[in-house]
Structure 1
């Protein structure tokens, strides 16, 4: 798969979400994806992740961002849940608590950052800080110094987020970001399924309906975010999220590409440790 077609490069002219298809799978059937391509991809991903975890030199931070019913939770269930549990961390970023509001806006993200040898998943992320306050115009309610709240605050935050991701990358924690580009019609269908299916009622929130009323504003804010924060070192990938299984396949393949570049290896015994290991093997075999 050529996943680069879904990647936003900084050299591009400002992108429009309307130019990115929400469905793009013209070659593989859903059965082929579920039975062949995704399992094969996950097997590769599992092997690379196990090496990353064993080596404990680098980590990866994955950002999943979408409007409600975009497909983030399902991607975690069908892709990342197959990885080694000890080397995986998932954090859901929700409305900040009173304690979190009293700190800088990145403070609450630190527990969700990966350790060396770990992949951390942010189900929504620090990007909420340049989305939700713009949709609902609630920034004035935060205890921020007055001089920080002006028309340039979003540009400032974009720069800060780019700097944060550069810092993470330069310290051995590359950042991979996926935006689930779902259509309004498919979001409607998914929300209705959650509402009508008793087994999925728990996934539904009445706030989802309220947020849907802001659809056009969300698209504008998403575009601004994508155009200002996709960098060479921490790119955004725009997923055709109406094709849920195909979107998951893209995620898996992108993760494989990143891990192959990191090239993690299983640690090997050498020198005195090798000799001690051989002696321990002999001792145990003769037990």
Structure 2
């Protein structure tokens, strides 16, 4: 698979990207990839030089939760942390918009998955600019202050934030799950038609659905402005769940293999005494 076809390295239009690709044997292939990702994470943990931040964005029902479950199923629980960012709390609103994301970053040796990310601050807030008032920013006095320049400034700050992380050993990979409006409709109906799925449904999903075109405009703008070599965006067709999981896992594996994570060797003084240690244990 050529992962470059999913990577944003030039100005793009989302309408040029497919929302559905069906790959034969995706589920079976994913099982093999999971084991390889797990081994890479073990080596990364032992080496202790890098962390990995995986950012997932997508419209409601794009399959983020199930993707996380299936792709990271074989990774040691010690080595992966998942954070799902909801509406900011009162405490979070008392800090700058990146604070709650910064304190959730993975430590060296670990993978961190952001289910919804710091990009909500230039996405949902851009679709609903009045939400910004909750941040009590001194320079924001009216809706007129929450304009394109405001959000582009935030995107610049996000770029600086991610460069700082990358410079300090965080490998950043960002994925937009490109779901079609028709498939979202099917998934929302499924939540309504299957009783045990009812709990997933929210009337707010239907309200946000009416703003689909505005969301797509905001996504396209942020993808073009914030896909950098040190923190690239990948657009993945999300209408077929097995395929989107396999594609993301394949990209993740290929990107991480570039770093050649190496488990450290024991100091020579310890290696020289391995036989002594074995004998000591065997005599117990």
Q: Please indicate the TM-score interval, normalised by the length of the shorter structure.
A: over 0.9
Specify which of 117, 128, 132 is matched with residue 120 of structure 2.
Answer: 128
Count of residues in Structure 1 that have an aligned counterpart in Structure 2 = 279
2:199 is paired with a residue of what secondary structure? helix
Counterparts of residues 163-182 of structure 1 (less than 5 Å)? 163-182=160-179
**Partner of residue 137, structure 2:** 144
Tell me how far apart the structure 2 counterparts of residues 254 and 68 of structure 1 sit (CA, whole Å). Answer: 23
**Alignment TM-score, normalising by the size of structure 2:** 0.94
**Alignment TM-score, normalising by the size of structure 1:** 0.93
Structure 1 residues without counterparts, runs of 5 or longer: none
Tell me how far apart the structure 1 counterparts of residues 61 and 146 of structure 2 sit (CA, whole Å). Answer: 32
Q: CA RMSD in A?
A: 1.5
**Partner of residue 80, structure 1:** 72
**Partner of residue 31, structure 2:** 39
Counterparts of residues 229-240 of structure 1 (less than 5 Å)? 229-240=226-237
Tell me how far apart the structure 2 counterparts of residues 136 and 147 of structure 1 sit (CA, whole Å). Answer: 15
Counterparts of residues 88-107 of structure 1 (less than 5 Å)? 88-107=80-99
Tell me how far apart the structure 2 counterparts of residues 204 and 81 of structure 1 sit (CA, whole Å). Answer: 25
Q: Deviations over 1:33-59 (max 9, x none)?
A: 112x11111121111111111221111
**Partner of residue 115, structure 1:** 107
**Partner of residue 252, structure 1:** 249
Tell me how far apart the structure 1 counterparts of residues 102 and 204 of structure 2 sit (CA, whole Å). Answer: 27
Tell me how far apart the structure 1 counterparts of residues 204 and 97 of structure 2 sit (CA, whole Å). Answer: 23
Q: Deviations over 1:167-209 (max 9, x none)?
A: 1111010110000000000001111112221222232222211
Q: Deviations over 1:186-238 (max 9, x none)?
A: 00111111222122223222221111111111111111110110011111000
* Offset at residue 140 of structure 1 (A): 3.2
Structure 2 residues without counterparts, runs of 5 or longer: none
Q: Deviations over 1:11-39 (max 9, x none)?
A: x2x321111000133xx32xx1112x111
**201-210 vs 157-166, which deviates more?**
201-210
**Partner of residue 54, structure 2:** 62
Tell me how far apart the structure 1 counterparts of residues 40 and 234 of structure 2 sit (CA, whole Å). Answer: 21
Preserved contact between residue 177 and residue 236 of structure 1 (Cα < 8 Å): yes
Specify which of 189, 193, 204 is matched with residue 192 of structure 1.
Answer: 189
Would the alpha carbon gap of residues 58 and 65 (structure 1) be closer, same or farther in structure 2, given more than 3 Å must change?
same
1:78 is paired with a residue of what secondary structure? helix
